[in-house]
Amino acid sequence: RKEVEQDPGPFNVPEGATVAFNCTYSNSASQSFFWYRQDCRKEPKLLMSVYSSGNEDGRFTAQLNRASQYISLLIRDSKLSDSATYLCVVTRYNFNKFYFGSGTKLNVKP
């Protein structure tokens, strides 16, 4: 079983839509959770860290459900510039290895 699983998409949504991505992780010892954004032919960049209490940054909301072992990313009022691949990344306590999901591709259409 993969450490981290994501729906690969693509998600094709119109501008202004709300879209949600989920990601599940298999190891209950997982400690830190992140959403990265990767544009075509560019490096991944941190979008948000995900905290137990959930966190919000403008139009983006991330949540963690430890009991069910999943994290989510909600994007409200989608913009054309949100089109990218979103990578779910998980790491364990005191362990220098980051586990990547396969990425979810988002296409925001005019």
Residues found near other proteins in the complex (CB under 8 A): 31-32, 34, 36, 41-46, 49, 87, 89, 91, 93-98, 100-103
CB 49 within 8 A of CB 71: no
Which C-beta is closer to other proteins: that of 8 or that of 16? 8
Which C-beta is closer to other proteins: that of 42 or that of 79? 42
Closest CA to 103 of 26, 13, 34: 34
Q: Which two tokens stand for residue 61?
A: 């909301």
User: Which helix (DSSP H) or strand (DSSP E) does residue 13 occupy?
Assistant: strand 11-14
Residue 51: other Cβ atoms inside 10 A? 12
Q: Which two tokens stand for residue 1?
A: 């079983």
Which C-beta is closer to other proteins: that of 1 or that of 41? 41
Which C-beta is closer to other proteins: that of 72 or that of 91? 91
- Between CA 19 and CA 4 the distance in angstroms is 20
Please state the closest distance from residue 2 (CB atom) to other proteins, in A.
11
Please state the closest distance from residue 26 (CB atom) to other proteins, in A.
16
Please state the closest distance from residue 16 (CB atom) to other proteins, in A.
27
Please state the closest distance from residue 61 (CB atom) to other proteins, in A.
18
